[in-house]
Amino acid sequence: MYFVYILFSSKTNKFYIGSTDKLESRLQHHNSGSTTSTKTGTPLWEVKYTEKLADRTSALKRELEIKKKKSRKYLEWLISSID
């Protein structure tokens, strides 16, 4: 099982989109400052949205679909759709 996830940092007011098969350890990695693209938001990254997918290929495809939107409003809509 793989996950597509959206993180949010209240420190930077930014979102990050990614995919993984180990969500908890990936979040810890982001919050440790070890990931270049999320280092400035540490240690305040929170998971705001997840989708479960069957395999890595599906997860990467979905991650790319979300990233191609390049829209904060779309990310906020996705997040609000799970409430």
pTM of the model: 0.90
In angstroms, the CA 11 to CA 48 distance is 15
Give domain 2-80's CATH architecture.
3-Layer(aba) Sandwich (3.40)
The reported pLDDT for the residue numbered 39 is 77
List, for residues 32-73, the tens digit of each pLDDT value.
888 888 877 677 899 999 999 999 999 999 999 999 999 999
What is the three-state SS of the chain? CEEEEEEEECCCCEEEEEEECCHHHHHHHHHCCCCHHHHHHCCCEEEEEEEEECCHHHHHHHHHHHHHHCCHHHHHHHHHCCC
The reported pLDDT for the residue numbered 83 is 62
- Which residue did the predictor score with more confidence, 23 or 34? 23
List, for residues 8-18, the tens digit of each pLDDT value.
999 899 999 99
